[in-house]
Chains A and B, each alone.
Chain A
Amino acid sequence: MKQKASLFLLTTICLSLTWAPSGASEVSERNIRFVDYPDFPEAHSTWGSIGFSTRYDKVFIGVTNHRDRVGLFEYDVKSHRMRLCGFIPDMANLREYQWQGKIHSQIVEGPDGSMYFTTDGGESREEYLMDHPHGYSGGFFMKWDPSSDRLTNLGTAIQYESIKDLAVDQVDGQISAVSYPQVHFVTYDPKANRLRDFGRLGSDHVPRVLFRDWWSNVYYVDWRQRLVKYERSGGRLIFARESLPSFEGTPGEHIITGITAYAVDRSSGVMYLITYGAKMLAFRPTQEGIGAVEDLGGIFDATLRPAWNYYCPNLALGGNGKLYYFIGGHGMYAEESESVVLMEFDPKKRSKRMALNFPLEVISEVTGSDVKDSAGNLYFAGRRNNPKAEQMGESGASRPFMIIFNPEKGTE
């Protein structure tokens, strides 16, 4: 049955390959591979919940049934083996009233080699029930030690609030995070067990992504889509004067959602950002103050939709210096037929092209920012539409899987 499904997927991808202009045939179905998550038949989705361990050469993914069961998976790059590390409620000894809906955050390697992530309530009951007996107690900071297969629960941030994303200081291990729905920026020092709440920074829709520069300053956005920097040297927030570039006519709900994905080019001193208003930006951070932002244009050029109306919660920089991202999800697609497209963006030439095209039953949405190994493989968390999963929770009927993509060579 599994083999049949894989065969169907491969055939579908082959049939779906589209629009390969001359001189742009480098990327094909040979460059991409899907890996299923074993031992979790009710798995529904993955969110931003993917990260890479450089110390152990492993990818970690949080997979959820989008209700109350969240599995942590580990993909070993050398053995090509995906395994279930365990389920969060069991490994963290969570009580029933501490139920968690998903891992929404990135899974980030700390300076100690542990992988850090946060948990999220996931569904409507998280936000609205609060102090009701069925309510949500709040999201947790968690640490996974790959060397001992041990999960440590580092505690909650704000009562009743999910924690949507985090960043980890690569010098002292301090965690920065953002809560949902009240958009509080917090820092947590696991060594001192010190939590600092810097207060509310956002509005109606919580920006989902934090990212850090190579000095471990952390960035977020306020409701005007201005960069907000947690400057580690002073332990304070500083705010950009100007909003990030956006297309004329970008609706407010796209402005307030901020940045959806990023990729780091350390050698060039550039961080590439994608906004919820479908802009590609080049950000050049500075150790102090907020660096310059350059508008690289839209992530997709077409007339089907307004330029701001393309959804892309993923981005990675290939070993070839080109950016790759999958457009589509949450009801916003690049193509009329509602499909997810893999884009290639050359930041030097500022040119982009559609490399591959997938129907929604093959890929319906992709997450992950800059998750890659030393061999140039890029990793993403993927979902595909699946009517059989209809009863698995809110946010559509889907099944999750991991995507391995290498733009320079085959992934077999």
Chain B
Amino acid sequence: MKIERSLLFISAGFAWLSILLQAEYTFFTPPGSFTVEVSLENSPYVRLPIYRNAITSLEVVGDYVLGGTSAIPGRSPFLFAVSLSKRRLERVLDMSPVLPGQRCIQSGFGRGPEGFLYGGTIPDKPGGSGHLFKFKVNGNEIEAFDLGTPVAGQGIFALSVDSSRGRIYGISHPSGNFFLQDLRNHTTKIFDETSPSKEILAFLHQYALKPADYLSRRLAIDQKGRVYGSQPVNKIFRFDPDAQRIDLLEDELPKVWGRRPLGRVDAWTMAPDGILYGGNAGDGQLFKLDPETGRVTNLGKPVMMPRITGLTFGADGKLYGVSGASPGYAHLFSYDPGGRGFVDLGNPRFTMTEPGLEQGIAWRGFQIGSVAASEDGRVIVLGEEESLSQLMVFPVR
């Protein structure tokens, strides 16, 4: 009787184990990966409060991961600095005293002179004006400086910096104007070619799309200083900095039939050989753009969902990106330009070890809105866009 019962337990145990093994509970958890707790409401530690911490802009400078956040309506954003070596949030700056009335730092950051990062804001209220700003970590503080409003009554949706020319380029929100600001003489030039016409707006209205759905989310600068972005419907524009002229490329963003209205650039990055890689938000295609020929190659969809919210190259020569977003959730993928194509790395799950959580907890990244790599490409960071967002870090070996 005892033996029979033991056998029953053993067989039940094996059945249970085999079911567990069949399950899909495997995640992307490379050795050396970790999560830094950036947000915690009612925290005894230095943390960002709830609803003001969606990490929408991200850059790595030396040992610091520098982030800019977006808030819900009526609240203001933060800048923060995480030390990679110490694996902790070290500094935060509430932007409300620096730039009152602003809600989002969603532009992304550009690297400028003297170690400053440049960013732009979207105001809290429609009709308000966004500001350009620059900031850097200085000792125990984050120093930020207001650089004024490039387009009156508009926010700054996307931004890129050409440090060698001393220029900031941007896309305004909600109109979608392209602008450049000269850092040397503080002049701003606004171009309205990238802004959708009345006819295009009427067309987009049929699809119930808002500016945040169709404006170019990021800008890229090629090795010759030309600037690239998208404009409705599904088009790619190029700004020539010498001629100061905007042209549309003959090739469009990759499309799925009937879904062209959804097309816009979600993310850009440049390969060491100067080829630009981009993600199309509408359908989640990865594409490459050869700046010399203007040709766009559709590289396909890493996963079934839309969005590619971030792209960056690792030290191993592979492209890493995040695909998929709400109401689904993120998959991390890699793409080998050398010919082996995509690998869906799955949902990232990195351990969070913090004071009070010394044993560590597993943290899954569901909504990831920003991706950046360290200068040597050996560390990649992922910024969450949640009500309580955290920073996820993994090494590239």
Contacts and interface: CB of A to CB of B under 8 A. Distances in A.
Given A224-B40, A359-B5, A130 B364 contact: no
B347 to A, nearest CB: 9
B386 A397 contact: no
Contacts of B44: 241
Between A204, A396, A397, the greatest number of chain B beta carbons within 10 A of the residue's beta carbon is seen for: A204
Given A159-B327, A224-B40, A331-B16, A256 B361 contact: yes
A127 B24 CA distance: 9
Given A131-B304, A224-B356, A250-B359, A124 B23 contact: yes
Interface in B1-32: 5, 8-9, 11-12, 15-16, 19, 23-25
Given A160-B328, A255-B357, A387 B19 contact: no
B356 to A, nearest CB: 6
B364 A204 contact: yes
Given A200-B386, A387-B8, A249 B362 contact: no
Given A224-B356, A238-B42, A203 B363 contact: yes
Contacts of B357: 224, 252, 255
A131 B387 contact: no
Contacts of B386: 199-200
B41 interface: yes
A128 B24 contact: yes
Contacts of A315: none
B305 interface: yes
B366 interface: yes
Between B304, B361, B387, B388, the greatest number of chain A beta carbons within 10 A of the residue's beta carbon is seen for: B361
Contact of B15 (A224, A240, A250, A396): A396
Interface in A91-134: 124, 127-128, 130-132
B238 interface: no
Contact of A387 (B12, B41, B349): B12
Contact of A252 (B24, B304, B305, B359): B359
Contacts of A251: 359
A203 B388 contact: no
Contacts of B41: 222, 237, 239
A161 interface: yes
A385 B11 CA distance: 11
A395 B8 CA distance: 17
Sorting the interface of chain B by its residue count into under 10, 10 to 19, 20 to 34 or 35 or more gives: 35 or more
A204 B356 contact: no
Between A199, A237, A240, A243, the greatest number of chain B beta carbons within 10 A of the residue's beta carbon is seen for: A199
Chain A binding surface SS class: loop
Contact of A130 (B11, B23, B305, B360): B305
A205 B328 CA distance: 17
B8 A131 contact: no
Contacts of B40: 224
B277 interface: no
A224 B8 CA distance: 38
A159 B356 CA distance: 34
Given A200-B366, A387-B8, A130 B359 contact: no
Nearest to A161: B327
A240 B41 CA distance: 9
Contact of B388 (A199, A338, A385): A199
A394 B304 contact: no
A290 to B, nearest CB: 9
A199 B24 contact: no
B363 A204 contact: yes
Contacts of B24: 124, 127-128
A214 interface: no
Given A239-B41, A360-B9, A361-B8, A203 B364 contact: yes
Contacts of A132: 304
Contact of A397 (B12, B23, B50, B362): B12
Given A224-B356, A331-B16, A130 B361 contact: no
Nearest to A364: B12
A168 interface: no
Nearest to B40: A224
Between B12, B24, B25, B304, the greatest number of chain A beta carbons within 10 A of the residue's beta carbon is seen for: B12
A52 to B, nearest CB: 31
B329 interface: yes
B184 to A, nearest CB: 43
Contacts of A205: 362
A253 interface: yes
A338 B9 contact: yes
A182 B388 CA distance: 12
Given A240-B42, A241-B42, A243-B356, A199 B361 contact: no
Given A130-B305, A199-B50, A397-B15, 6 more contacts: A160-B327, A201-B387, A204-B364, A223-B361, A226-B42, A256-B362
5 contacts: A131-B305, A132-B304, A199-B388, A252-B361, A387-B15
Which 4 pairs, one residue from A and one from B, show the smallest C-beta to C-beta distance? A199-B387, A252-B361, A204-B362, A159-B327
Interface of B: 5, 8-9, 11-12, 15-16, 19, 23-25, 40-42, 44, 50-51, 304-305, 327-329, 349, 351-352, 356-357, 359-364, 366-367, 386-388
